Amino acid sequence: MDTKYILIDNKNIDSALISEAGQIIRNGGLVAFPTETVYGLGADAANPDASRKIYAAKGRPSDNPLIVHICEFSQLEDIAEELPPVARELSDAFWPGPMTLIVKKNEKIPYETTGGLDTVAVRMPSDPIAAALIRASERLIAAPSANASGRPSPTRASHVKEDLDGKIDMIIDGGECGLGLESTIIDLSDEEPVILRPGCITPEMLNNVIGKVSLDKGLAPDSDTRPKAPGMKYRHYAPKGKLLIIEGNDMAVADKINSLVAGSKQVGRKAAVICTEETRGLYDSEHIYIIGRRSDESSIAHNLFAVLRKMDEDGFEDIYSESFSGAGVGTAIMNRLLKAAGHQIIEV
């Protein structure tokens, strides 16, 4: 298949191009599009064949459900079997934005879209291109991240092209994603709201609106229960090289990483360091990747997946990364980084 690649300026959206993309969705095709979190691979959420195509293009396991993207709150009411009052409170506070709610579904969303589950994940994106596409398609758009299954999520259209060129109908290039991490997922289908995937809407932000929200116990690396979001159990985000996280105070971490790099070199392995602007001066390796600023963790979230992809492009065999705080957006950053590292972390 020929994949059509189009550029859209999110400050001046070309309505003819968006209608063309919307038409592809209505016809049961696949369109990759930017959102504020990561690029999504979209299809008509109510069309089982269109959903199946998403799984095929990504090589995604069929039990891993898709997120349904909407542009009006009434669309959530329309596909939910029942809606707890917190859904409205959370929507008022964080939609449109990087938050996904899981609710019991009705018959309007097929099991092909929900991986066989009786619940559905729903999000209202704030990205203007994403919102315009949903509107133009006159459909709800099922969209997982637009990467090949297992690879780091795409935060630029070039990442989508690397993974899915020739497998989908269209890629909309709308520039770099602002946030760079996938949405916070909150399960509202049980008695108590539970965070199934941390993201840029932090536990602290949720607490301020609906009180204490717990984190799915299955997310802890040493947990013997399965994560409740099927996608969280898969190895994910991983670069091809061996990624190791080193945690401790800045000086001790840098000493350890410098000696690990020297060790890799001695045995002829190509090694890289992932660090921050503040700590850059502590390393003597020639391959240093600055992931962002410790003083502004959103910059780290923004760059994380692009840096992991760059590691593959540049062919590193050993990758040594600093660790980040476990609070605020740091919770989400560490969740992705630990998965990418297969939970290989050493404390110094």
User: How far apart, in Å, are the Cα atoms of 101 and each of 58, 113, 122, 124, 201?
Assistant: 23, 15, 5, 10, 12
Among 10, 23, 64, 126, binds ligand AMP (CB under 6 A): 64
Considering the rule CB under 6 A, would residue 67 count as an interface residue with ligand AMP?
A: yes
Asked if 277 and 292 count as a contact pair (C-beta separation under 8 A), the reply is: yes
Interface with ligand AMP, residue 231, by CB under 6 A: yes
Residue 182 sits in the site that holds ligand AMP (CB under 6 A) = yes
Q: Which residue's CB atom is positioned nearest to ligand AMP?
A: 231
Token pair in block for residue 302: 């923004």
* Contact code string over 90-109 relative to ligand AMP, x by CB under 6 A: ------------x-------
The one-letter amino acid code at 39 reads Y
- CA 227 remoteness from chain centre: 16
The whole-angstrom distance between residue 244's C-alpha and the CA centroid of its chain comes to 21
From the list 86-94, 112-120, 285-293, 314-322, the region that binds ligand AMP by CB under 6 A is 112-120
Residues of this chain that bind Mg ion (CB under 5 A): 145
Return the number of the residue (39 or 320) whose C-beta is nearest Mg ion.
Answer: 39
Q: Which of residues 278-307 bind ligand AMP (CB under 6 A)?
A: none
Residues within window 2-61 making contact with ligand AMP, judged by CB under 6 A: none
Least Å from the CB of residue 296 to ligand AMP: 24
Q: Which is nearer to ligand AMP, 182 or 318 (CB)?
A: 182
Instruction: DSSP letter for 127, please.
Output: -
Residue 241 CA neighbour count, 13 Å, CB half: 25
Residue 153 per-residue DSSP state = P
Sheet holding 40-44, edge to edge: 4-7, 170-173, 31-33, 40-44, 141-142, 67-69, 119-123, 99-104, 184-187, 194-197, 214-215
Residue of the chain from 76, 200, 213, 232 that contacts ligand AMP (CB under 6 A): 232
230 sits near ligand AMP (criterion: CB under 6 A)? yes
Pick 54 or 245: Cβ nearer ligand AMP = 54
Residues that bind ligand AMP (CB under 6 A): 64-65, 67, 102, 114, 117, 119-121, 144-145, 182, 185, 196-197, 228-232
